Structure 1
Amino acid sequence: MYRWQIASTIAEHGVVGIVRATDSQSARQRAAACLHAGLEVLEVSLTTPGATTVLRELRDEYPNALLGAGTVLDATSARLAVDAGARFLVAPSLHEEVISTGHRYGAAVLPGVDTPSELVRALESGADAIKLFPASRWTPESMRDVLAALPQAPLVPTGGVSVDRAPDWIANGAVAVGMGSGLSEGDQAEATERISGLLRGIRQARG
């Protein structure tokens, strides 16, 4: 899969599920709950102990899922994540070495930005999409104002995006949203209902 196909799949799906846990077993359980519920794009945060092992296991068990790594802070972490099966890399900040390393090995990269100046730098650095982080410091409307000046920016608001408000971000121009542990809370039936409703809301927001 080429980088443009990876970015296109993220945009088409509209949601990047984020798995972050205090141990690898919990991470696998949360990931499985999301994937079984119909989520097709998932990142495992490298803050999770054994994150690369979790990625390898998920890659083998769910070959059709688009898996990525989150909280990628340097070139070494980027290479290890790609070797473990990550096809996209997400960072909370903007580091050109993460972008260049990810691209060298075929991964799409979504660096984190919080200002229009950082957003422009990310575009100049070749970001495949851009994580607007933390989204809690923005609103869908303020993001739309930035996109009026920079309509070429493929933004993925992350950090504080709720299931209820996710469609608002999409309706105001985001290509996708990043969402964490709230997706997999409760039992499998609850997770499935929540994720199904989220995906349905995103489709409706796109018209």
Structure 2
Amino acid sequence: MSREIIAILRGIQPDEAVDILNALIDAGITKIEVPLNSPDPFDSIERMVQAAGARALVGAGTVLDVASVRRLASIGAQMVVSPDANPDVIAETKAQGMLSYPGVLTPTEAFSALRSGADGLKFFPAFKLGLDGFKALAAVLPKGTNTYAVGGVGPADFADWLGAGITGFGLGSNIYKPGYSAEKVGALAAEIVTSYDAATL
């Protein structure tokens, strides 16, 4: 099954990228994001794209400009995640054939992102929006909109957010911090998958 969990690997180094990629895939997480404020992020992403093949969806986070989108397309990235909803970044992402997940927090941002062609909305920081805020916002979104909670939401919150209608989650420090071994990441990922599967039954 393809779980709606995006692993956010902020701070990952290129020489550990493939081992951590494989640990995540083995645990059952197949959507992987390397934020562009990590060391040599394009190198890490390119290595992961080549190693993953069809086993995972690999892309970048903290994508703030069109030039970065074009560079990501050139190395085979499949997904662009941003903390904001820049219409130019969204449009270029779609023009390059990649999935677009811009960050939003308000109805204005959410609808602007969808009009620009976003594939899904990253609600960030989700803990500030809260369940009540998300429910109110989700009520006016087009039916079938893909929504992701990112920031301050962890495995203990999965059931409540899924119950409120969220599509999935982006997890950073719950799953990876600089210095974590591939084995540790794999163990954390396995626990997260167990929680997610229990919440989606």
**1:188 shift after superposition:** 5.6
| 2:63 is the counterpart of 1:72 | yes
- The root-mean-square deviation of aligned C-alpha atoms, in Å, is 2.1
Correspondence for 2:138? 147
Asked if structure 2 preserves the Cα contact closer than 8 Å seen for 1:37 and 1:188, the reply is no
CA distance in 1, matches of 2:16, 2:153: 22
**1:85 shift after superposition:** 2.1
**1:166 shift after superposition:** 2.1
Aligned residue pairs: how many? 194
| 2:53 is the counterpart of 1:53 | no
Q: Deviations over 1:71-98 (max 9, x none)?
A: 1100001111122221110000011111
Correspondence for 1:197? 194
One-letter code of the match for 2:160?
A: D
CA distance in 1, matches of 2:184, 2:133: 35
Correspondence for 1:160? 152
One-letter code of the match for 1:124?
A: R
Correspondence for 1:169? 161
Correspondence for 2:171? 179
**1:29 shift after superposition:** 4.8
Correspondence for 2:101? 110
The verdict on how the C-alpha distance between 1:101 and 1:37 changes in structure 2, with shifts beyond 3 A counting, is same
Q: Where does 1:119-134 land on structure 2 (aligned, <5 Å)?
A: 119-134=110-125
One-letter code of the match for 2:197?
A: R
- TM-score of the aligned structures, taking structure 2 as reference length: 0.86
- TM-score of the aligned structures, taking structure 1 as reference length: 0.84
Q: Deviations over 1:161-202 (max 9, x none)?
A: 111112321221111111113124673663253133133134
Q: Deviations over 1:125-148 (max 9, x none)?
A: 111101111112122232112111
* Structure 1 SS opposite 2:7: strand
Asked if structure 2 preserves the Cα contact closer than 8 Å seen for 1:21 and 1:27, the reply is no
One-letter code of the match for 1:174?
A: I
| 2:77 is the counterpart of 1:86 | yes
Alignment counterpart, residue 97 of structure 1, candidates 88, 107, 121: 88
